[in-house]
Amino acid sequence: MKILVADDDRISRMLMERMLQQSGYEVVTAEDGLQAAAELEKPGGPRLALLDWMMPGLDGPGLCRAIRSKQDDAYIYIMLLTSRESSADIVKGLEAGADDYLTKPCNSAELRARLHTGRRILQLEDKLVEAREEMRFKATHDPLTSLWDRGAILSLLRSELSRARRERSPVSILLCDVDHFKKINDVHGHHAGDLVLEEVATRLMDAVRTHDAVGRYGGEEFLIVLGGCGHAHLQERAEQVRKSIYSSPFTIDQGAITVSLSLGAITVDLWEKSAPIELLLKQVDMALYQAKASGRNRVVYAEMAAVAADNVRREVSSLPVNLPLSRLIEA
């Protein structure tokens, strides 16, 4: 495990380094507080730190405060080393954010024992973080496919529409449905159906960019949000998604089977970004239905004019019925 030794005294630093290396630590050294802070901020930097109280640039308590101010970083276990022995100094060091305090010259066996305690605390911290992240993942992801679940993908779509409205950039939406999925379940069993859904999820993730979002919309339906994708590129992107499923057979327990997708697609651009999300999903769902009715394994693109007409109808229906014709035209 990496450990930082920060001490402006070269001899003390070398002795501490040698002792810790003999105990199996990978030692990183610093001769002042600023250099120590830089080492701790590096990716994969030490999680254990032995800090001398008196150092140029930034003393031990000051470095403790700087480390603790970075709330989002991985926890660093800090031990202050100093010749000061008063209770007031101990309190000052602990209040600055130190986890432990050892007076110089320190006993090597006691130091190793205290560092072992620090390692146990870091292991517990890592387990808590891992458990928290696992709970967060389960709260937003589909348990079978590990894709975003319905609530999460819709939330991401709303966020992407808001971002696109601010930046005046397009967004495209794909609603995908696995063709003849009921037949797969009926003929090969539900386990085979689960394997197909898992493989569909994997192929969809491989077919999109890292900043695109893919979610399980429900059952055998998947929703894909393509940020920054305009109508000019939507056909190419949609065909890539369709071919990623149909281009090679799926392997299940009974052998290989061919699987295809039907897709509804829509681009939200310019004024359409003000359209309600429910209306956009309705239009792309109608396009998906047309793809199914037209023979499956194809992409149908929702007409923007239909979205515009529906918006106008909604606005007109909200106007007073006795509004003069001239006012209606202006509206």
Helix axes 231-246, 190-207, angle to 10 degrees: 140
Q: Looking at 220, 236, 272, 303, which residue is catalytic?
A: 220
**pLDDT tens string 49-67:** 999 888 888 888 899 999 8
Distances (CA, A) of 51 to 36, 48, 72, 115, 130: 9, 10, 21, 13, 28
With 80 as the cut, is the pLDDT of residue 86 above it? Answer: no
State which amino acid sits at residue 258. Answer: T
Band (pLDDT 50/70/90 cuts) for residue 314 is low
**Mean pLDDT in residue range 189-213:** 96
The bridge status of strand 255-257 relative to strand 221-227 is: unpaired
Q: How confident is the model at residue 330, as a pLDDT?
A: 37
Q: Under a CB-based contact definition with an 8 Å cutoff, are residues 242 and 299 in contact?
A: yes
Region 244-272 average pLDDT: 90
Domains and CATH numbers, the chain: 2-138 (3.40.50.2300), 150-330 (3.30.70.270)
- pLDDT at position 13, please? 85
Q: Quick one: what percent of the chain has pLDDT higher than 90?
A: 54
Whether 41 is catalytic is no
Taking only the tens place, the pLDDT of each residue in 163-187 is 988 888 999 999 999 999 999 999 9
How far apart are the C-alpha atoms of 265 and 176, rounded to whole Å? 9
Q: What is the pLDDT of residues 122-163, one digit of tens each?
A: 999 899 989 988 999 999 999 999 999 999 999 999 999 999
